[in-house]
Structure 1
Amino acid sequence: MSNTDSEDPRKGFDGSEDPENPDSSGGQDNPDAMSDEEVRDILKGFEGEFSDSDMSAAVPAAQDTGPGPGSAGSDTPGLSDDELSEFSDQLEGVLGNKAKCAIIITQLRSARFLAALCSLTDISAQCIDSQNGACAVLRELDGSGPEDAARGLTEAVNGLAAVLAVNRADKVDMHLWVGGKEGTSYAPPIILSSAPLFVEDMLTGSLTVQEVISEGTHVEDSGSISKVEAYGIIGENLK
């Protein structure tokens, strides 16, 4: 075997000699060869390009995942369902889509009698006793709910006249209702001068039904009276 055949076949991989280029040798300078430092610099350049491209791809991917916590499209952080519901109610009140307060003012002598009438006409209300006449604080405040209640009550009871006072977007309107029809509009001071004192405070939001109860005033909930009981109460008051 010749000396050429006995040479180490791994030469060329370690940089000492290129087996496919017999003219090259580890002992001679090659002007086209790159130093280790130049190779490392080139590799670093490739790594930077890949990092930039990966980052640009990651940004849209993160954006496509949808809104995260605190973004405009997410639910308000830190608020319970009750707080969100209260905020929604307040917003509807400011916009006027939902009344802040609605009260039917009557000259009926008994809150229980008024609550019985509300029960028969499917009106959800808390009825308050007063020497000036019982009043019904309505629960249905969305849309035309207050007007529907006044219409139903005065239509069901022949000859009953009532004033509906409604606060929408901090504007109080008062109308007379008779026979299921809306009648004369009154300036609030005219009605409030003869209405129970709590009416104005409730319309302005400075007093609640619960506070009226705590003061000792009798309040009757229409929801606590069945229709059978309502007929009995009405019969007693008509004697």
Structure 2
Amino acid sequence: MPPAPTPTVLVTGAGSGVGRACTLRFAAAGWAVGLIGRRADALAATIALAGPDAAARLAAFACDIGDPAAVDRTVARAHERFGRLDALVNAAGTNIPRRALAELSLEDYHTTLATNLHGAFHCVRAVLPHLRRQGGGTIVNVNSEAGLRASAKSGAAYAVSKFGLTGLTQTINAEERSHGIRACSVFPGDIDTPLLDKRPTPPPPEARARMMQPEDIAACVWLAVSLPPRAVIEELLVRPL
């Protein structure tokens, strides 16, 4: 009997924060991982953290997920590299300091949606044909509490993008179940990641120490992907204790 193929996941935002933590979690479990992000040096740093034993199963793909043509090329390259795709983790995300409605610029609004919502959609759109041909797979969208309830803390652009991501996840489950494809939205509360530095007033170290860590969210993502194919976690809300 031939050996089972190595399962493969694509992770966006893999150069830092939750995306990096997800990459390391899957690599430690023996998966092949395609790392997607804007900065090749940050992706290389993530691969170095995975260690030499895992490095052969990891491949970096520098890509702006806001560019649909670039995403199509990247996913095609990843499928050629690994021979299969089993999961997608949309972990890339951004926000802007001037986020209140009274000061939010059109440029910042569209920049936020380009990564948080449109970028995720581009990746889903590119991956779905491969998952359909394989007969199934899992898509996890790293969302936010702001995707359930807006707040002044998150700002308008971020909330709009995350509410849209909630709708995208629900649509995948509504339309793709017959193909064995499932999707999960993970809704984290505060996480100690570099994104906090983009708040109008970044939290002090003592506040960050009480927040969740990227590894906590990676554990939630792993749960959603590692469940038996007959089960799906459609929405998972996780907050600091």
The structure carrying a bigger helix percent of its residues is: 2
Q: TM (normalized to structure 2)? A: 0.24
Instruction: Please say which structure displays the higher CA radius of gyration.
Output: 1
Q: TM (normalized to structure 1)? A: 0.24
